[in-house]
Structure 1
Amino acid sequence: MEVFQHFSVKEILTCSMVLFAVIDIIGSIPIIVSLKQKFGHIEAEKASIVAGLLMIAFLFVGNKILNFIGVDVNSFAIAGAFVIFIIALEMILGIQIQKHSEAKAASIVPIAFPLIAGAGTLTTTLSLKAEYHDINIIFGIILNTVFVYLVLKSANWLEKKIGGGTLKVIEKVFGIILLAISIKLFTANFAQLFQTYVNF
């Protein structure tokens, strides 16, 4: 088939590794366990499918959507940075900013977005599109989606293996890391926005 003429295992592995690093589902395990304790249940299937579809959809129409609503990629990334910042504050300070009382399970928000298919992940798919063929990026997204599903499905097992005290320590450490990521995401994209307006 013509769609598979650009199929490349090397490109798939490269795209998979890049997305794996950006999604960082392993580093998000403390968050997942925390959400499991907070909500009581994580809808692994729904979260994984929605996250995967978001990434694939954004690969093809990301720029068009942002242009249509008059938002550039840098502004989109900054908005994502604020969301990550709030999640990090919750983890570090042990406070609740988001309201979870109406939800019976964690799935689309905040797992599918912004934890998995967040601003960083979605903008990364656009960056990959400039260097690699779409079919290989899609396979890279699918591989990461499957791995994410396996991690989310293991939430109960992870919760049992990680003790309460250990979880609190790890949660605060990763909260600080998330905070640093949000600040880096904000400053990098703000600098680009500022440079754009200055040149304009």
Structure 2
Amino acid sequence: MYPTLEFAAISLSLIFFIVDPLGNIPVFLAMTQGKSPDEKRKTAFRASLVTFLILLVFAFVGEWILKLLRVTISSFQIAGGILIFIIALSMLQAQRSRAKSTPQEEHEKLEGEDVAIFPLAIPMLGGPAAITTVMVLINLSTSALQRGLVILAIFLTSLSCYLILAASVQLMRGLGQTGINILTRLMGLLLAVISVQFVIDGIKAAFLQTPP
């Protein structure tokens, strides 16, 4: 459906924007407050690794899940595009979307010993929105190369999560909350454009499908 280079760009931008490691810096710092720099890096590594594994699993089983539920690719693409658009609207307001995680989920383990897996990796980084995005992309892929590009995008995003969260103190000091909000809004704008195109393409595909 999409040329390979265009598909690669869409996959990387979508997954990175949805996971949104930059927007998660303030929450990460709050959750790791009082920890040493080494402990922050270890938390960032575990959270990024778990995020990678979660998204990788759904990259392999997502198509099977849709077939099991008898959901067409076009209908899932439309639903995924709407979900991504909702998140994009929240990013345009520099706010966290409840479609990714609720305030209760974010603070449930704020006082716990290890927040890397929950709530940082799940649901903040590798939550329902990121999983849905990966499943949409895998089902839109038309070749083994494009599926490999989705997996590569998952890896690069997870690596970016680690690098960004591990350097969160320095980035927060350099960019400030205002700088992070500006970047979040720009990513939200691009995400909104991509999500609308997803919905349009999904509707077109649905009308072109022949009844069984």
* Contact map agreement 1:36 1:106 (CA 8 A) in 2: yes
- Correspondence 1:28-177 to 2 at 5 A: 28-33=20-25, 35-36=27-28, 40-41=31-32, 44-93=44-93, 98=98, 99-104=102-107, 105-114=119-128, 117-126=130-139, 130-132=143-145, 140=152, 143-144=155-156, 145-177=158-190
One-letter code aligned to 1:91: M
Offset of residue 185 of structure 1: 1.7
Partner deviation per Cα, 1:161-187 (whole Å, 9 max, x = no partner): 212333333332222222222212222
* 1:4 corresponding residue in structure 2: none
Contact between 2:74 and 2:203, CA under 8 Å: does it hold in 1? yes
Determine which of 183, 187, 193 is the counterpart of 2:196. 183
User: Aligned in 2, Cα 1:158/1:29: closer, same or farther, shift over 3 Å?
Assistant: farther
Q: Structure 2: where are the runs of 5+ without partners?
A: 1-6, 33-39, 108-118
Residues 1:75 and 1:45: Cα distance change in structure 2 (over 3 Å): farther
RMSD, aligned α-carbons = 3.8
Residue 92 of structure 2 contacts residue 188 of structure 2 at CA under 8 Å; is this kept in 1?
yes
Deviation for aligned residue 1:71: 1.8
How far the C-alpha of 1:188 sits from its partner, in A, is: 1.5
Q: Which runs of 5+ in 1 are unaligned?
A: 1-14
Aligned residues: 181
Deviation at 1:68, TM superposition (A): 0.8
Identity of aligned residues (%): 23
Q: Is the 8 A contact 1:77 1:119 kept in 2?
A: no
Are 2:94 and 2:184, in contact at CA under 8 Å, matched by a contact in 1?
Answer: no
Query: What whole-Å deviation, never above 9, does each CA across 1:106-138 have from its counterpart, x for those lacking one?
Result: 3312311356x443433334555833498x679
Distance in 2 between residues matched to 1:26 and 1:97, nearest whole Å: 10
| TM superposition shift of 1:159 | 1.9
Distance 1:142 1:183, change over 3 A: closer
1:173 alignment partner AA: L
What is the distance in 2 between the residues matched to 1:133 and 1:185?
A: 17
Q: Distance in 2 between matches of 1:96 and 1:65?
A: 28
